[in-house]
Structure 1
Amino acid sequence: MAETRIRRDNVPAETSSLVGREAELDELAVLVGRSPLVTLTGVAGVGKSRLAVRTAARLRDSFSDGVWVVELSGEQNGSLIGHTIAAVLGLREQAVRPQAEVLADFLADKRLLLVLDTCDHLIDACAALLRRILSDAPHARVLATSRQPLGLPGERLMPIEPFAVPEGAEAATSAAVRLFTERANALVPDVVLDPQQVAEVCRRLDGIPLAIELAARRLRALSVPQVAERLDDRFALLVGGSRTPLGRHQTMRTAVGWSHELCTAAERLLWARLSIFAGGFDADDAWAVCADGRLAALPLSRLVDKSILVAEGSRYRMLGTIRDYGREWLRRLGEEEMMAARHRGHYLARARRAEAEWYGPRQAQWADWARRTMPDLEAALANDDGFDLVTALWFVWCCLGGVSLGRRHLERMLDTHADPGPARTKALWVCAWAALAAGDTAAAGRRAEEAYAAAMAEGDLVAAGCARQNAAATALLLGDPDEAARLAAESAGLFEEAVRGRRVHIGLPVAEMTLAMAHSLRGEFDLAVEVLTRQWARCAERGELWARSYGDHVRSHAELGRGKVDAAEAYARAALEVKWRLGDALGAAMAMDQLAATAAARGDGRRAACLLGAAWRMWTTSGLPELGASPYATPRERTERQARALVGDIVYERAFDGGMVLDLDATVARIRDTEGFDHL
């Protein structure tokens, strides 16, 4: 067969550097050497084409018959793919024989690399042609780019992920920030960039390289903070002025719109409806919110295959850019309000179930659920105008560290809904509890009194018990253990009466914990242990962890008061383990403080200082009350004085600073392990 080509490759010249893909390039070189077909998959704009082209250039010397890039984005007729490839290879047209046969014959003894870029819209035709070529050409290699697999035997998939954008100091050296900085410097040579501001822009762009490059181009007219402000309308912002090496995707809208065109009608509708989720979701969430007569089946796996959804175990998520495009279509379909209502209703139902099961053995699972779904809970709350959802989530605000968010929505609802009723009464005691967790004793006391008066008028014993428990805890933090004991006993009595009426609530063991703490502060350590023994048994019977761990914390105080340091340390460690597992930042910080107190009681000032440093980090990085102005500061100050007296100021400061920089997850794990704790 005659050949007219004289080149050994047609790899296009790149006009800019490839940043941050060194590991992928190395992996690709290995895969191409081992596999007849490698397919790069990934979301629009992630850089599949750039990687393929760079790999082709890098492997020029590995293929005696050259490397050849075939750009398919402009080809709309699948039957012409063979002709397009033949033209790139320099083959003459043959009218008699099928093009697939001509190609297979030509490639049969060739050692070359064929790069098929953008197979998405011609997936079936590409697969059929490659099946014939690869069966007849054992030494040929094919590197394809597509937003979904070709589905051929022996195909090796290499998903290309967006750049990760870490938090903190590491962000400055991340590939995303380097890419933005390099492109910005090329356009505006004297620009001065704050790496943390750049990192925030890159993070909001999901680390997608094309989006980052387009955003960097806006620095001709805007500052980085101004770019960040405009990302709420990212498709209007991310319009490019130059073209990529292969001449496509001048805007993010074009890139994502290309993916949209490749979807079926059902897939497009599902994409639009799934955009209502603010974070991750599972198949049950998707079914509950999205399915109806128009969408009786949910092709989630097909959206994963087309790089619209990212699958993470049994859960799915959309990148923000993909979600924003879907939300635009949801508005065009006129379904945004309907889907927001479905979304809110779904999470209200889940929150109610979580609340009902919180005082029981599924507490840890519901804590995990709350953390996973927080973006969607926030979105549902933002669209809510009633008390039901925000009060059903009381355990998130009061037990799992979501104090600031909960208070903001509770106060908003209480200010806009002044009419009395059970729903508002519940919001009052939940708000009092959240204020207490935030260290705002004035607001906690005021809301607790309002809640108690309303609950008694309504005959709601549980709400009255919760209000009295909040008042008791407030008195405790204000340094009045006598008043705290009186109110906690009253609260326990209300809950016990409610139990007789078949209303069981976690408030009872919480009230008992508060009562025991009041006894301990009054020096009645044996009485505190007696109350806590009942409280522990009550929680254990229901498989409950959260209130029991607060009981363990108070038990540590009481045992330390009785001079039993080993027992005090054991209970404090038990409390810390559960609090950290559940994500209760306040409880974890208090437990860490208590462990420092037990170390000081042992005479180990260095360990006490180290633990105080770790606790301080918990307090200051978790949005908890400022220690200097909080009731939580007193026991810390006592422990600090003891530790300084034991080891001196220099050793204390060094150990405290060391505790401040410890990885908290690793530190808690070492504390949980006796041998590891001994070497802390």
Structure 2
Amino acid sequence: MAQTRTRRDNVPAETSSLVGRREELAEIAVLVGRSPLVTLTGGAGVGKTRLAVRTADRLRGSFADGVWVVELSAQQNGDLIGHDIAAALGLREQSARPQPEVLADFVADKRLLLVLDTCDHLTDACAALLRRMLPEAPHARVLATSRRPLGLPGERVLPIEPLAAPGDAGADAVRLFTERAHALVPGLTLDPAAVARVCRRLDGIPLAIELAARRLRTLSLQQIAERLDDRFELLVGGSPAPLRRHQTLRTAVGWSHELCTAQERLLWARLSVFAGPFDADAARAVCADERLPVLPLPGLVDRSVLTAEGSRYRMLDTVRDYGGEWLRRLGEEDALTRRHRDHYLAQARRAEAEWSGPHQLRWADWARRELPNLTAALDHDDGSDLVTALWFVWCCLGQARRGRHYLERALRRHTRPDPARAKALWVCAWAALGDGDTAEARARAAEAYETAIAAGDPAAAGRARQVAAAAALACGDLDGAGRLAAEAAELSGRAGPDHAGLAAAEVTLAMVSVVRGEPDRAVEVLARQAERCAGRGELWARAQGDHVRSLAELDRGEPGAAEAHARAALEVKWRLGDAVGGALAMDQLAAAAAAGGDGRRAACLLGAARRMRAAAEPSRPGPPEPAAPRTPGKGPGAPRTRGEDPVGSDGPGPAAAHAAAVHALVSREGAAASRERTERRARALVGDAVYDRLFARGLVMDPGVAVARIRDAGGDRADGRTAAHGELR
């Protein structure tokens, strides 16, 4: 009979603290108590070994026969795994009996925990051995670490993700970097935001973070950040993990690479051209050929190279960079980059063709999901077809600044006055307007018009005139805006009665009518526009029309109707993912509430709108939002009638009020002025203390929750019920 040593375990001592991972440790302990086999899976360097060793240390008192760690990374022969386990347990060799049989007999009556670390390259052999051992040992437990599950019945698999690395200083990834840095360089001062950026670039991978922190002995934090584009050369150094291996990040990721089949390695390299998550169809379109007719995506998921998220796949930047190195070595980088670009160009053309129809929501969802890949394709695109095909992303989905960058680059490269340049010019003009640059918008729109007319393209000429009209309105040129909008409508109508440009031109015509004090005329125009949009199943232009219709209804003394149309605009903007437009619609809901005498609701809505804007554009420069002067106005009153100004004599008259409100659709300064007016009205209705309290309540509300409450409240009102959602009712 084999004999054991007198010691109870061989758990290695940890040389540094384990940061975070409380939830994972608790879950592992629960799983070990319930299942004979628990496998921790995950990519290179995420900390599987660290968690397994810490679990073994914490559970020492729970196993009368000890906890034992068996490190298998150096073992290349699956037949010798049993001998490694026997050596860890202190069993004498018994050459007359098969080692699996010896182990099965030994553990049969034992209460022990066996940690098999790094089973990646030996999964079949490990599974075969455990299949023999575990049925005979009801009180034994095995905790394994591997890139993929072992595949035994009853196995519980726990994927280990990288550490979270958001911008706040309390993130576990930031804490890990900071602790390791201070241990190496005492007294070092670090900017938490800069540390968070480095941690995000490193995907929150603990091994990468620890290696980066070690470089602070010779490099500044800024230098580390600048060199992360070549992270595998930067992150060289020893690892403080209790089981010392993976001396560099390249070694850790390379270990996964060695475990892959030839087909999996080729796919890994080719998938590195994707800059964000992707689905199987996109992977096939870009990566499949005669060398790779069937894509082994499941195999890469099993080996933790890819993470499956529903129907899509994700690859960490660190893993992608390694695949990119192999793609260059294979000489396929240029070809795969072109295939990636061509795939997204084909998708973008289809999206553009179907945008102004019943599939608008689907394409908006596609654009949001694929924005990282679209940006990568644009980075490798020398023409203008892709960036102009994506005009709806830049002009309708709140991505004006990003689109403007690529559009201006395309215009610098494409100087020939042809239809392609005309299109790039009007799209760039629209993006500039969305970015708050009215001067650039007017200049680009003028050139676009001239180029389109010369090319005989009335549709592009109409688009150019439409942007010029909106820019003129933003600049206070009412006559110019009316003339240009009418011209835009006429030109777009020549392109066809259902041309998308016509609906946009009608919105601007209606805006001009509102500013001129002709709300009935605006309603007439917008009724036709809404009918036309409904016939096509178009939502975005309809939402623009609903916003202006809300302004017109306020001018007609109908705050209830104004609220209904603002609510409709908000619903569509939110569904399309246009948070900037959604915040404007929420501002208009606040204006309608204030006009109807509900200052409490107006205050809460203004707070929620500011929160939505901040979430949409956290780093966007621009004028600060005004703090309205706290001067008392008139007290609460009945809903205003046409021609009244609820603020009283200290506010501008109705025409100026609506000029500011309409201006808010095309100007950030106008939007700020409109919010200031609403704030003054709400403060006059409820007082400063109540206003500040309710504004703060809206300010801390998640935008999605705010929209849901507004949506539900609309249903409550339609049914005659009282909403139970506080001030967002």
- The normalised TM-score by structure 1 is 0.96
**Partner AA of 2:376 in structure 1:** A
Over 3 Å counting, the alpha-carbon distance change for 1:678 and 1:241 in structure 2 is closer
Q: Which residue of 2 aligns with 1:529?
A: 523
Deviation at 1:116?
Answer: 0.7
1:201 aligned to 2:198?
yes
Instruction: Identify the residue that residue 295 of structure 1 maps to in structure 2.
Output: 292
2: CA distance, partners of 1:584 / 1:632: 16
Aligned position for 1:494: 491
Return the letter of the residue paired with 1:665: G
The question of 1:643 aligning with 2:682 is answered: yes
Question: What secondary structure sits across from 2:38 in the alignment?
Answer: strand
- RMSD of aligned residue pairs (Cα, Å): 1.8
Once the two structures are TM-superposed, the CA of residue 361 in structure 1 deviates from its matched residue by 1.3
1:141-540 mapped onto 2 (5 Å cutoff): 141-167=141-167, 171-499=168-496, 504-540=498-534
- Structure 1, 199-208 or 307-316: larger mean CA deviation: 199-208
Offset of residue 311 of structure 1: 0.7
Tell me whether 555-564 or 184-193 shows the greater mean CA deviation. 184-193
- 1:205 deviation in Å? 0.9
1:618-675 per-residue CA deviation (whole Å, 9 max, x = no partner) reads 4455238546873334433433343344344555455445444433222222222222
Map of 2:23 onto structure 1: 23
> Are 2:720 and 1:679 aligned?
no
Whether the 8 Å CA contact 1:429–1:463 is kept in 2: the answer is: yes
Which residue is equivalent to 2:657? none
Aligned partner of 2:589 among 595, 603, 616: 595
Distance 1:216 1:79 in 2: 40
The answer to whether the Cα contact below 8 Å between 1:437 and 1:586 also exists between their aligned partners in 2 is no
Change (3 A) 1:67 1:481: same
> 1:147 Cα deviation (Å)?
0.4
Alignment: residue pair count: 674
1:542 aligned partner: 536
Shift of 1:583: 2.0
Distance in 2, matches of 1:2 and 1:451, equals: 88
Matched residue SS, 1:142 = strand
Please tell me whether the aligned partners of residues 519 and 525 of structure 1 are also in contact (alpha carbons under 8 angstroms).
yes
Question: Aligned partner of 1:663: which letter?
Answer: D
CA contact (8 A) 2:604 2:727 kept: no
Match of 2:641? none
Alpha carbons of structure 1 residues 594 and 83: separation in structure 2 relative to 1, 3 Å: same
Partner of 1:132: 132
Q: 1:578 aligns with which of 557, 572, 577?
A: 572
Whole-angstrom distance in 2 between the partners of 1:287 and 1:129? 38
Of 656, 665, 676, 2:704 maps to 665
TM-superposed CA distance for 1:679, in Å, is 2.3
Hey, what's the Cα distance between the residues in 1 that align with 2:700 and 2:510? 34
- Closer, same or farther in 2 for the Cα pair 1:107/1:617, shift >3 Å? closer
Q: CA-to-partner distance for each residue in 1:486-536, whole Å, 9 max, x for gaps?
A: 222221222222116xxx532111111111111111111111111111111
User: SS state of the match for residue 499, structure 1?
Assistant: coil
Relative to structure 1, is the Cα distance of residues 513 and 624 closer, same or farther in structure 2, using a 3 angstrom cutoff? farther
- Asked whether the 8 Å contact 2:15–2:240 carries over to 1, the reply is no
Contact residue 431 and residue 447 of structure 1 kept, 8 A: yes
- Once residues 555 and 211 of structure 2 are traced to their aligned partners in structure 1, the CA distance between those partners, rounded to angstroms, is 64
Task: Measure the CA separation in 2 of the matches of 1:413 and 1:212.
Answer: 38
Shift of residue 43, structure 1, vs aligned partner: 0.7
**Quick check: 1:244–1:250 contact (8 Å CA) kept in 2?**
no
**SS of the residue aligned with 1:40?**
strand
Question: How does the TM-score come out when normalised to structure 2?
Answer: 0.90
Structure 2 residue runs of 5 or longer lacking an equivalent are 627-667, 714-722
Letter in 2 for 1:245: P
Q: CA deviation at 1:441?
A: 1.3
Secondary structure at the counterpart of residue 68 of structure 2: strand
Q: Are residues 1:62 and 2:101 paired?
A: no
Aligned-partner Cα distance in 2 for 1:157–1:583: 35
Conservation of the 8 A alpha-carbon contact between 1:593 and 1:636: yes
After superposition, what is the alpha-carbon deviation per residue over 1:60-89, rounded to whole angstroms, capped at 9, x for unaligned?
A: 122222111111111111111111111111
**Partner Cα distance (2:124, 2:70) in 1:** 17
Q: Does the 8 Å CA contact 2:507/2:545 hold for their aligned counterparts?
A: yes
Bigger shift: residues 519-528 or 143-152: 519-528
Taking a change above 3 Å as real, the CA distance of residues 586 and 87 of structure 1, as seen in their structure-2 partners, is closer
Change (3 A) 1:33 1:660: closer
Q: Does 1:43 align with 2:37?
A: no
Letter of the 2:229 counterpart: D
User: 2 CA distance for matches of 1:648 and 1:6?
Assistant: 78
CA distance in 2, matches of 1:94, 1:287: 53
Q: Structure 1 residues 436, 679: CA separation in 2 closer, same or farther (over 3 Å shift)?
A: same
Per the alignment, do residues 657 and 32 of structure 1 end up closer, same or farther by CA in structure 2, a change over 3 Å counting?
A: closer
CA separation in 2, counterparts of 1:617 and 1:19? 32
Residue 162 (structure 1) shift: 0.8
539-548 or 583-592, which deviates more: 583-592
* 1:283 to partner: Cα distance: 0.2
CA contact (8 A) 2:493 2:499 kept: no
Who is 2:663 aligned against?
Answer: none
Structure 1 position 44, deviation (Å) = 0.7
Q: Is the 8 A contact 1:438 1:624 kept in 2?
A: no
2:383 maps to a residue whose letter is: G
Q: CA deviation at 1:284?
A: 0.5
- Between 189-198 and 383-392, report the one with greater CA deviation: 189-198
Deviates more, 1:263-272 or 1:629-638: 629-638
The residue matched to 1:673 in structure 2 has which SS?
A: helix
Unaligned runs of 5+ in 1: none
**AA paired with 1:306?**
R
State, as a whole percentage, how many aligned pairs show the same letter: 72
User: CA–CA distance in 1 between the matches of 2:60 and 2:725?
Assistant: 56
Taking the aligned partners of 1:547 and 1:49, their CA distance within structure 2 comes to 55
- Residue type of the alignment partner of 2:674: P
After superposition, what is the alpha-carbon deviation per residue over 1:94-149, rounded to whole angstroms, capped at 9, x for unaligned?
A: 22221111211222222211111111111111111111111222222111110001
Q: Which moved more, 1:623-632 or 1:149-158?
A: 623-632
Aligned amino acid, residue 283 of structure 2? A
Q: Deviations over 1:22-74 (max 9, x none)?
A: 11111111111111111110111111111111111111122222111111111
1:106-117 map, 5 Å: 106-117=106-117
Further displaced range: 224-233 or 564-573? 224-233
